[in-house]
């Protein structure tokens, strides 16, 4: 090397990947970290879906339930079914982990548990939409209710999916430049 050249050689592609990730961890360490992060996220969603589902299960025992129209009963059945599916998907990663623990497949377990969680969040969104539709129909009977629910679903979509995807795209693309 001559006097004016830097002493560090050009970084390899592997070094770039490490710098891009910002962490120096083994695949197992990364899986452990991602699992712990996923469990923290699931705790929040599980609590909400379990409270909502529990509430939905009690509705059928209220004195007003027999007075619901056939349409409202159908919305109720769909809502309870979606709530049950969301609960199953959001609790699913726990037994999933129990069943595969110790098999040295944690990276794959994290991937599948993450997918279950995503499906659970989509089902939770559908449950919330149906629950809002039912409650607001019964409470007001107003014709604007479907529009109000559509606006709220749009808000959930923005907060839960659009904003995170936009931030991911914006800052990931910026990091690669």
What six digits make up the tokens of 143? 């014709």
pLDDT in tens, 115-134: 999 999 999 999 999 999 99
pTM of the model: 0.82
What six digits make up the tokens of 24? 């120096």
Hey, how many other C-beta atoms are within 10 angstroms of the C-beta on 31? 18
Rounded distance, CA 145 to CA 134, Å?
9
Rounded distance, CA 61 to CA 14, Å?
61
Tell me whether residue 32 is exposed, middle or buried, using C-beta atoms within 10 angstroms of its C-beta: 0 to 12, 13 to 18, 19 or more: middle
pLDDT in tens, 45-72: 999 999 999 999 999 999 999 999 999 9
Confidence of residue 177 (pLDDT cuts 50, 70, 90): low
Cα Rg of the chain, angstroms: 23
């Amino acid at each position: 090397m001559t006097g004016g050249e830097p002493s560090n050689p050009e970084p390899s592609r592997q070094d770039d990947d490490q710098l891009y990730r910002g962490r120096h961890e083994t695949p197992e360490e990364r899986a452990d970290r991602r699992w712990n992060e996923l469990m923290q996220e699931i705790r929040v969603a599980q609590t909400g879906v379990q409270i909502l589902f529990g509430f939905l299960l009690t509705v059928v025992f209220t004195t007003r339930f027999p007075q619901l129209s056939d349409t409202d009963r159908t919305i109720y059945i769909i809502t309870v079914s979606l709530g049950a599916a969301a609960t199953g998907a959001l609790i699913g990663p726990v037994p999933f982990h129990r069943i595969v623990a110790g098999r040295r497949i944690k990276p794959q377990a994290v991937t599948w548990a993450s997918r279950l969680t995503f499906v659970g969040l989509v089902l939770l969104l559908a449950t919330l939409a149906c629950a809002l539709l039912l409650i607001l129909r019964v409470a007001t009977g107003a014709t604007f209710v479907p529009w109000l629910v559509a606006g709220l679903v749009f808000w959930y979509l923005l907060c839960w999916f659009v904003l995170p995807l936009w931030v991911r795209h914006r800052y990931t693309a910026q990091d690669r430049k």
